[in-house]
Structure formats: C-alpha cells, structure tokens
Amino acid sequence: MTSCEQETKWEGLARGNVTAATINKFMVVMRMLDQKAQVMILLNSLLVPLCMNGLENPAYANAAIISIITSILSILAAMICIYPKRRYRKTGDRELNLLHFNDIGHMDKQDYLDQVMPKFNDTRQLTELAIHDLYDMSRYSIIPKFTWLKISYAAFAVGNILAIIVATSSL
C-alpha cells in the first residue's frame, strides 16, 4: 500500500468518525429534548389537578385559571416537541433525503434501491448523503424541538409567575 493510499484511507476513516460522532451527538440532543419535554408534561399534568382545587377558593380562582390554561399550553407545546418531525413532500421534484425515514417510506422499494445503491457504493456520494441527513436532522428535527420546548418552558414560567402575582394581589 502506497503512502497516498494510506493517507486516503485515514482521511476516509476520519470523515466516518466525524460523521458518526456528529450523528451520535444529534441523537443525544434529541433524546435530551424529548426527556425535558416529558418532564414538562408530567409537571404540568400534576399542576392542573392541584390548581383545580384552587377554583373552590374565590381568592385564588383567577390565579388557578391562569395556571391551568398555561399548564395546558405548556403540555401541548411539549407534546408537539416530542412528536416525530417529518419532512413533508410538498412537490414531486423536491430533493429526497435517501437516509430519512419519511422520504424512504414514500418511495417504492425498488425505486429506493435504484436511487440509493449507486450512492451507497460510492464513498463520496455516501458521504454527501450522510451530510445532507445531518443537515436535515438539524433543520427539520432538532431546531423545531428546541423551539417547542422553549415555548413550553415560557408558557410554564410566564403562566405561573402571572398566577403568583394574581394570587398575591388578591390577598
């Protein structure tokens, strides 16, 4: 094996390791976001029944209503965060991500194999597929999850701060 062949081999190995590490990092981030959203769902689902008791006391009724409404909004945002994100096929000429489950699932098996096998057998094209998948994972999965989790946190925080202000002002 020549020096140039060894260098190319190590470059390919390095690209593969960087790609695998990045995919792993993205998966860890997505898992963390889903776990945080689950915590928000649990916390808010416990808060709603507790606030329902506050409806019985006229002094706390408005604060309880605010807390219940914002808890429900927080739960909905967290549920949207957890729900799997998909790339929607708006037109037939849109570029397919041959490594994304939604695009794969909308193709006939033979059509998929005909399109993916040439790329799979060419390391440059396979690398390009992996890079496109990383972009799509960031753009269509991770960023929306962060957005919906932020909305869930904001609804929780603002709603409960507002409920506390309303409750203390009615004392």
> Per residue in 12-43, pLDDT tens?
677 778 888 888 999 999 999 999 999 999 99
How far apart CA 119 and CA 126 sit, in angstroms, is 5
Whether residue 133 contacts residue 99, with contact meaning beta carbons closer than 8 Å, is answered with: yes
Hey, what are 142's tokens? 């991770």
Q: Which helix (H) or strand (E) holds 123?
A: helix 123-137
Confidence tier at 92 by pLDDT (50, 70, 90) = low
d(CA 55, CA 33): 33
Q: If you count them, how many residues does the chain have?
A: 171
Query: CA-to-CA distance for 97 and 7, rounded, in angstroms?
Result: 30
81, 152 contact by CB (below 8 A): yes
How many angstroms separate the CA atoms of 159 and 9, rounded? 56
pLDDT digit string, tens, across residues 94-142: 678 888 877 888 889 999 999 999 988 888 888 888 888 888 889 888 9
pTM of the predicted model as reported, rounded to 2 decimal places: 0.82
